[in-house]
Amino acid sequence: MTPKPKVVITDYDYGNVDIERAILEAAGAEVVALQAKSEDDLLEAARDCAAIMNQYARVGARTIAAMERCKVIARYGVGVDIVDVPAATAKGILVTNVRDYCTEEVADHAVSLWLALARGLFPYDRATHQGLWRWQSAAPLHRLRGQVVGIVSFGKIGQAIASRARSFGVEIVVYDPYLSPATAAAHGVRQVDKAELLARSDVLMMQVPMTPETRHFLSEPEFRAMKPTALVINTGRGPTIDNQALYRALAEGWIAGAGLDDPEEEPAKRAVWSPADNPIFTLPNVIVTPHAAYYSEESIRSARETAASEVARVLTGQPPRNPVNADALAVRA
């Protein structure tokens, strides 16, 4: 009797894998759910798996080299920086991701972080809870209308942020080397180079994928080039901002504030983490959320169903709907 193909879920924080199990078992697979925090935790289970699904755990070259029969690595999300895609491609393994499942949530979250900082909601809240009833508790605040909002990376999420921001009467400028002039014109935004983006932005919205080119896109030279009243919002990958430089910029007043959905160390990907590890958590002019910009009950369900369905499709001989490296595999073949 032929054994059922084994699908390894490397890690998850959804409480259970019932959604995935229902989809995959219907496709004839066996599901093994782990809570791996390192590749050492994956090697044994990965060796004979037919597929891997990962949320935070890295699936790197060492794990991929150990795989003897894997057909697909499915990422629970858009970014695939925690999958060694070239190693998977070299071994003939498909990589898939989940797209367009949280565009509205991330755009809402980015704008919420901006408004919370721009309107001083957190210092006002802290002050009133301490018995201080003073409009000066969050001073100085500045009118939003007429400000410049800079957006780095103008894909679907950047475009959704722009549509929301426009209602506040701001000018929108965009830095994206891959953006066509026609797309920029269609969305009523102006393309600028990095120097103009930094010099003019009153709020800088980062929605950047993690690549070698985007690592530390913002570091000390960039923060020093910005307005001292500027706000930085990052709902993209944490390591696109140099956190040591950001701490200095916030502590020494090079910029006014920051809203981060994930700091550079990306705590969910670490076995042990404490806010004491990062001095940014001591600053009153920074808001940090736990990589939650993508979250709604609806988006979580969509991500889980889509990732599991991609695996089911591949295991039953169908092409995936969200391939990452299908073209590279075709060239290799």
Q: Is 178 exposed, middle or buried (0-12, 13-18, 19+ CB in 10 A)?
A: exposed
- What's the length of the chain? 333
Q: Are 51 and 5 in contact (CB under 8 A)?
A: yes
Residue 249 to residue 264: CA distance in whole angstroms? 15
Backbone angles phi, psi at 273, to 5 degrees: -150, 145
Token pair listed for 212: 């070698």
Instruction: Decide if 291 is catalytic.
Output: yes
Can you tell me which residue has the tokens 């004839």? 28
Q: Is 87 helix (H, G, I), strand (E, B) or coil?
A: helix
Q: Is 73 helix (H, G, I), strand (E, B) or coil?
A: strand
Instruction: Decide if 213 is catalytic.
Output: no
| 126: amino acid identity, one letter | R
Task: Annotate 14-73 with DSSP letters as a single string.
Answer: SS--HHHHHHHHHTT-EEEE---SSGGGTHHHHHT-SEEEESSS-B-HHHHHH-SS--EE
Residue 69 CB-half CA count within 13 A:
11
Alpha carbon separation from 14 to 204, 298, 315, 322 (Å, rounded): 32, 13, 24, 22
Nearest alpha carbon to residue 236 among 218, 256, 255: 218
Give the active site residue among 200, 291, 304, 313.
Answer: 291
Give the active site residue among 200, 237, 304, 313.
Answer: 237
Can you tell me which residue has the tokens 């891997």? 52
Residue 300 to residue 314: CA distance in whole angstroms? 22
Give the active site residue among 25, 220, 266, 305.
Answer: 266
Instruction: Decide if 237 is catalytic.
Output: yes
Q: For the chain, first and last CA: distance in Å?
A: 31
Q: How many CB atoms lie within 10 A of CB 333?
A: 6
* Catalytic center residues: 237, 266, 291
